[in-house]
Amino acid sequence: MRRKLRYLGGWWWMTPALVLVGVFVYYPVLQNFQLSLYSWNAFSRAPRYVGMDNYATMVADEVFWRALWNNVIYAVVSLIFQVFFALVLAAILEEFVHRRLAGFLRALYFIPTVISITVSGILFSFIYNPEFGLLNKLLQAIGLGGLTRAWLGEEGTAMGSIIAMSQWQSFGYTAVLFIVAIQRIPRDLYESARIDGAGRVRTFVSITLPLVREMTTLLVIITVSGAFLVFNEVMVMTAGGPARSTHVLGTWLYFNAFMADDMGYASAIASFIFVITLALAIGQLAYGNRKRVEW
Amino acid sequence: MKARHMMAALVASAIALTACGAPSVPGQVAPSASISSPAVKSGSLTILTKFAAPEYAPYFEAVVKSYMAENPEVTIDLQQVGDQPYKDKIRVLSASKQLPDIYFSWAGDFANKFVRAGLAADLSAEIAPSTSWGSTFAPAALEAFTTGGKQYGVPINLDAKYLVYSKAALAKAGITAPAATLEDLLADCGKLKSAGYTPIAFGNQYGWPAIHYMTQLNAFNVPADTLAKDYNPASGEFTDPGYIKALEQFKQLLTACFNNGANGMSHEVAQANLTSGKAAMQYVELVEFGNFTAEKAPQAFADDWSFFRLPMATGSAGSPNALTGAPDGFMVNAGSENASVAVDFLKYMTNQTNAEKITKDIGWLSPVKGSATEANAFPQLIEALADVSKAESFAIWLDTVAHADVASAYLSGVEGIVSGSKTPEDVMASVKQAAAKAKKSVS
């Protein structure tokens, strides 16, 4: 009896959290799915049930696919810079650079992370400015005047320019996380590797890489899901233009909801984003359950 | 395994929920508001504007404050947000049935959305041109907020689009008078280029500056009746050949007059090129004229600028005397419990004193007749007022007059023309497609 009460008591303690999560997380998710089956907007008198129409529109919508592709590119580039290069940078800072200088460089790489995204977006709009932007001026100065262009104004370069800004901003953050992970590796492993005659590259591949696996996994998941939720960077720098070429799923959703007054379609896009991020989260759970590396 | 259970539960409950019927989005608010003059002015009002910018906000704050001082029984909660946040906020408020008593609106389909949803009070009894309040306004300004013969909005300013130019630049290029036809303008651009100027500064980072050109060029090239029919979402088809012509003329301007890389430059940066003497002209709104006064622009420019209308190509089929522009306005919530006080406040805001104050404080022209004088306005503003009153009709901004889908097809299409990836034919194909979709959504 007492045990049963205790068991129930546990549930009581959990109720507030369950209610909060239910009301603010699960209910909106379900309602969003429900709304995606209607054609409605903020001004409509009565929502009209349209079944899977919004999803059919989505499949046939060029901009949607373009946006999804942009997200995928964003994710791939972010993986290369924010995971791979950040790890290499962290290893270099830890292994090769003098302690005092390493501290200075760490701070230097980390600073962009603390700048607000709006500020850095505007800053980069100036750097990319076709007339007086630093980037074009730099290209001219080194004799590459032929490459100058309106970086944010051409379909071919706008998305790349936004992604580049985002790498500049986030790269230092992941590098610092890797540094912390590397510092946790016991030094004697490195010493014994050195005694065994391993070079620095060999040590990196055989010791550093496997022992920061947990951090790598975590950052892969954070980076990839971040890439699918990107919004501010695009909104500040191009708002999806020129000619809708820089829309990502988040901005295309926002555009349909608040500019084109098509809330039903926006909900359908939201459901799609939810499915992607849920899949990533499940991947994370599955991976997180694997055996940890012990030392 | 757990995740699979969770997914199954989610899907199951989603299906259960969908079976429950329509989501709760706004029903029609009964237009019960009485708008005739209140016997006793009391109660509270909520007002939402999009004028949070520091140069505009103080005017509205001051008017609210003085109204409350004169009517101590009335309390007003004034909220002002920026241009873009306003578009989000007003939608959220109207979806959640919490529309303020008085709210801002652009003229055109943006206002009509509220009318169609029954969220805007019919103000005809008080502000129709024949009423004593209505007769104080310029008729074209009232016309911009008329839908189906009824008056739904109170215009608060006058806005129109002009080519502002530096007199010195034109003189240096040997141009004696502003161009009278589009052909002349294109030729002038050549002269200005040879004189070392960017003929027309153009920053199109967010797409709307190009849309303003298209508004005027469409009005020049498409007969007014056809234009009105096409801008109405219920009957829009966009088959007139004038639309293609308008886009082609835009393309001519692009090659002959504009700077390169316009999509990557903001309108404000382009404006700096004009005032600093790098560019000779820019297509700007009347509400921006204040930027060219000595307080904000370099003295050399402030002393030496003038403006003219974008000229029409010879032999065009549209309206030569239509002027791109529209008043902004305020609407009254149809469900407001204090609609009569709301209307009283709007009357107060547009009385002669406050109309003169808007010109003096923020350099806007008021739609109230005779409100701009030498005492409160700079010379170009008075000149503009005279020109605006000569215009037969306003060509309301394409991005607010047309359905949002059509507007966005235009917006992205013209951006494509600027960057060179689209032809006028491509643009019209997607505009037609958007018009068909819009027709479906309002029917």
Looking at the predicted structure, is the pLDDT value of residue B124 above 90?
A: yes
Q: What is the mean pLDDT of residues B313-331?
A: 93
Q: Which of A128, A259, A286 is facing B87, going by the closest CB pair?
A: A259
Pairing of strands B161-166, B279-285: antiparallel
Q: For A59-88, write each residue's pLDDT tens digit.
A: 999 999 999 999 999 999 999 999 999 999
Q: For A155-181, write each residue's pLDDT tens digit.
A: 999 999 999 999 999 999 999 999 999
Looking at the predicted structure, is the pLDDT value of residue B270 above 80?
A: yes
CB contact under 8 A, A130 and B22: no
Taking alpha carbons only, the member of A224, A64, A236 closest to residue A162 is: A236
Query: Looking at chain A, which residue has its C-alpha nearest residue B92?
Result: A42
CB contact under 8 A, B117 and A45: yes
Work out the minimum CA distance from A62 to partner chain B, whole angstroms: 12
Q: For an interface test with A, which of B94, B114, B265, B443 has the most A Cβ atoms less than 10 Å from its Cβ?
A: B265
CB contact under 8 A, A34 and B88: no
> What per-residue confidence (pLDDT) applies to B442?
79
Residue B216: Cβ-neighbour burial (10 angstroms; 0-12, 13-18, 19+):
buried
- pLDDT category of residue B206 using cuts at 50, 70 and 90: confident
Residues of chain B contacting A37 with CB distance shorter than 8 Å? 18
In this structure, how many other beta carbons lie within 10 angstroms of the beta carbon of residue A5? 9
**CA angle at B109 for the pair B25 and B409, rounded to the nearest 5°:** 95
Residues in A 158-177 with any Cβ partner in B closer than 8 A: 158
> What per-residue confidence (pLDDT) applies to A1?
64
| CB contact set of B147 (below 8 Å; sequence gap of 6+) | B111, B112, B115
> What per-residue confidence (pLDDT) applies to A260?
84
Question: How far is residue B36 from each of residues A183, B100, B131, measured CA to CA in Å?
Answer: 76, 19, 12
pTM: 0.84
CB contact under 8 A, B28 and A26: no
Residues of chain B contacting A25 with CB distance shorter than 8 Å? none
Q: Give CA–CA dist B366/B359, Å, rounded.
A: 7
Q: What is the mean pLDDT of residues B194-223?
A: 95
Q: Give CA–CA dist A36/B14, Å, rounded.
A: 11
> What per-residue confidence (pLDDT) applies to B11?
45
Query: Looking at chain B, which residue has its C-alpha nearest residue A42?
Result: B95
Secondary structure of chain B: what % helix, strand, coil (to 5)?
Answer: 50, 15, 35
Q: For A191-215, write each residue's pLDDT tens digit.
A: 999 999 988 889 999 999 989 988 8
Residues of chain A contacting B266 with CB distance shorter than 8 Å? 125
Residues in A 256-275 with any Cβ partner in B closer than 8 A: 257-263
Looking at the predicted structure, is the pLDDT value of residue B19 above 50?
A: no
- Residue ranges and CATH numbers for the domains of chain B are 43-159+326-386 (3.40.190.10), 161-324+403-442 (3.40.190.10)
- pLDDT category of residue B5 using cuts at 50, 70 and 90: low
Q: Mean pLDDT over all residues of chain A? A: 89
Residues of chain A contacting B114 with CB distance shorter than 8 Å? 43
Looking at the predicted structure, is the pLDDT value of residue A295 above 60?
A: no
Could you tell me if A227 and A82 are in contact, meaning their C-beta atoms sit under 8 angstroms apart?
A: no
Looking at the predicted structure, is the pLDDT value of residue B17 above 60?
A: no
The domain locations on chain A are: 31-119+157-288
Residues of chain A contacting B206 with CB distance shorter than 8 Å? 239, 241
Looking at the predicted structure, is the pLDDT value of residue B2 above 50?
A: no
At residue B401, φ and ψ (nearest 5 deg) are: -80, -35
E strands present in A15-114: 38-39, 48-49
- pLDDT category of residue A294 using cuts at 50, 70 and 90: low
- pLDDT category of residue B377 using cuts at 50, 70 and 90: confident
Query: Looking at chain B, which residue has its C-alpha nearest residue A245?
Result: B412
Question: How far is residue B256 from each of residues A150, B182, B185, B243, measured CA to CA in Å?
Answer: 18, 11, 9, 20
Work out the minimum CA distance from B276 to partner chain A, whole angstroms: 14
Q: For an interface test with A, which of B2, B13, B18, B443 has the most A Cβ atoms less than 10 Å from its Cβ?
A: B18
Looking at the predicted structure, is the pLDDT value of residue B311 above 90?
A: yes
Could you tell me if B440 and B403 are in contact, meaning their C-beta atoms sit under 8 angstroms apart?
A: no
Interface check for A147 against chain B (CB to CB < 8 A): the answer is: no
Q: Which of B10, B264, B418 is facing A151, going by the closest CB pair?
A: B264
> What per-residue confidence (pLDDT) applies to B213?
97
E strands present in chain A: 38-39, 48-49
Here the tokens at position B20 are 């429950």
> What per-residue confidence (pLDDT) applies to B12?
46
The better pLDDT of the pair A266, B31 is held by A266
Here the tokens at position A110 are 């980390």
Interface check for A38 against chain B (CB to CB < 8 A): the answer is: yes
pLDDT > 90: what percent of chain B? 65
Here the tokens at position A293 are 């590396």
Q: What is the ipTM of this complex?
A: 0.80
> What per-residue confidence (pLDDT) applies to B32?
53
Work out the minimum CA distance from B388 to partner chain A, whole angstroms: 30
Q: For A84-100, write each residue's pLDDT tens digit.
A: 999 999 999 888 777 78
At residue B200, φ and ψ (nearest 5 deg) are: -130, 120
Looking at the predicted structure, is the pLDDT value of residue A152 above 80?
A: yes
Query: Looking at chain A, which residue has its C-alpha nearest residue B29?
Result: A45
Residues of chain B contacting A243 with CB distance shorter than 8 Å? 412-413, 415-416, 419, 421-422
CB contact under 8 A, B266 and A125: yes
> What per-residue confidence (pLDDT) applies to B9?
47
Alpha helices in B285-423 (DSSP H): 299-302, 339-349, 352-362, 379-390, 398-401, 404-419
Residues of chain B contacting A42 with CB distance shorter than 8 Å? 25-26, 91-92, 94-95
Query: Looking at chain A, which residue has its C-alpha nearest residue B278?
Result: A131
CB contact under 8 A, A150 and B88: no
Could you tell me if B215 and B396 are in contact, meaning their C-beta atoms sit under 8 angstroms apart?
A: yes
CB contact under 8 A, B22 and A38: yes
> What per-residue confidence (pLDDT) applies to B33?
62
Question: May I ask the CATH architecture of the domain A31-119+157-288?
Answer: Orthogonal Bundle (1.10)
Residues in A 14-33 with any Cβ partner in B closer than 8 A: 26, 29-31, 33
